[in-house]
Amino acid sequence: MKNSFWKTTLAVIVGMFFYSILSTAMWMLIMVNIMITGTQSKQIPRNAYLKLNFSRPIQDKVLVQDFSSFSNQGPVSLVKIIRAIEFASHDPHIKGLLINTRTVNGDWAQTEEIRRAIKEFKTSGKPVIAFSDVYDQKAYYLATVADKIYLVPSGNIIWKGLAAQIFYYKNLLDKLGIKPILIRHGEYKSAGEPFVKDHISPENREQYKLLLTRLWENVINATSATRHLNKDTLNSLAEHLALHLGSDAVKSGLVDAQIYYDQLLDTLRSRAMLSPGKKLKFVDINKYASSAVKIPQTSRNKIAIVFAQGNIVDVPTNLNINTPQILGSRYAQLLKKLRDDPNIKAIVLRVNSPGGSALASERIWRQVKLTSQVKPVIVSMGGVAASGGYYISCAANKIVADSSTITGSIGVFGLLFDLERLVTDKLHINPEVVKTNKNADMGNLFKPMNETKKQFIRTAIEAIYDRFISHVAEGRDLDKDYVDSIGRGRVWAAVDAYRLGLVDTLGNLQLALDIAAKQANLTNYSIVEYPRQKTLLETLMKQDFNVKTDLLKTNLPEINRLMSMADLLKQKSHIWTLMPFMIDIR
């Protein structure tokens, strides 16, 4: 007995000893990594090209710092990218831009924002060159603003038009013995459709066909303008998959020439007016953004940019450390704090959200409304500002949408699952219920839902939808019946949303800032961003991550979206203002 005790004690002591050594080593590694990164980031060489590669995930603002930031795999900030490009236009160390990316790992609106920043950079007179072995459609669209587009001789361009793929799960759920119950207002409100159907509905096909058409028209129009190519020709090339080889891209005018990397270096030296023997230097956009770009905060008058990105939730979830979420209570408190701060003269609410909880959306909407009565609140819509994302936007003084924004989806739905067959037929479990009243087991997933319970949910959904369209009608100064006619859950492209009166103008985040400054009568102001980014230390101390779901992450967008949907269903609310976001537009 004594030997067992001392063996156990010794094992605990040894374990604690090694744990302390490993912990100390980990923290030393972190600090060394930080110091190395900091030291390297300050070394901006002269006569350099700023190298743009966007293979890492792009978020409007990165709110959490984690280990991936040291391995060049974590998300990067759109705002930092844009500011870095703007800063580089005035930086004497930077001689030009090299767009060197196969893809843009962000949405179409983020691609549009970066493209617009590059276009503005060109007014400095510095060269912009694009070079890659492969361009997907977003990468090529970004490259079309360059002075010259080069492709390696064995490379190719993907040019095929846009498609959205939606997975339907009804047959799988039938086999599992799971019966989904969908109650919705609006025939276009299709977020829950994949669970109750095995194919796309005519309404959903109609709205996405129009949405994709509008997004593709934007790509075609912008490409035609910068490459001086006929729109019909560009469409025909996509329609017939005519770009079999890189040489086809040159013949059609999409690419200027096919060259090798050493030839590219000679071209860049010549453009920068460097001697042939001069070594060419490159600076990574992410390193440059974190080292060279500093925003001077000289004025006490401030405009706050509040980044609302991700699903709107009642309680935080830990789907993934790098998956941003909009916690209703937190954002409501933040908006109240900014409303009461006398130094904050205006607020730009940057919305990039497909929506989520109806209750959380209402809480944020209320604070937007109250704040807009005290100081200007301007919404800048990112890639998606739909359903709950539009709900929290509609009370703003002005709404600015990017030309590639997906918005609208004014509708409500409830989604529950009847698991009776799963537990009884598949798992052979018999759940029994004892209750005081007939419907006391409301919300029980293991017993069929009767009509009384369905009507209870249906009444709540109708009330929320009526409140939703009332908010839109009031905020946008539109007739309520008209809002209902363009609502019913229908998703709109930005150009159509502008035509319908759901947004005020098309433009980027900078335009929203300009409008905010004008409405607040500001000529000199500082910019402050919220929420503040959590440091690596804060992330580790709070354990604000979930290793299991990180390990489950895949490169299949639909699997990740399905995990995100499952995570949302853990919320207390079963009524959602959520767009049909489980799509992949490519």
Kindly list the catalytic residues. 189, 387
Structure-token pair, residue 180: 């989904």
Sequence-separated (6 or more) residues with CB below 8 Å from residue 513? 303, 305, 348, 378, 380, 527
Q: 149, 256 in Cβ contact below 8 A?
A: yes
340 exposed, middle or buried (CB, 10 Å; 0-12, 13-18, 19+)? exposed
Name the amino acid, one letter, at 67.
Answer: F
User: b/e map of 417-434 (b: 16 or more CB within 10 Å)?
Assistant: bbbbbbeeeeeeeeeeee
Sequence-separated (6 or more) residues with CB below 8 Å from residue 548? none
Measuring CA to CA, which residue among 184, 185, 187 is closest to residue 202? Answer: 187
Q: 142, 118 in Cβ contact below 8 A?
A: yes
For residue 408, what is the enclosing H or E element? strand 406-408
CA distance 439 to 293: 61
- SS3 assignment for 425-452: HHCCCCCCCCCCCCCCCCCCCCCCCCHH
Structure-token pair, residue 54: 């966007």
Give the distance, in angstroms, between the CA of residue 208 and the centroid of all CA atoms in the same chain. 19
Please report the beta strands in 64-178, taking only residues with DSSP state E, as ranges in sequence order: 76-77, 94-104, 128-135, 148-157, 164-166
Question: Would you call 413 helix, strand, or coil by DSSP?
Answer: strand
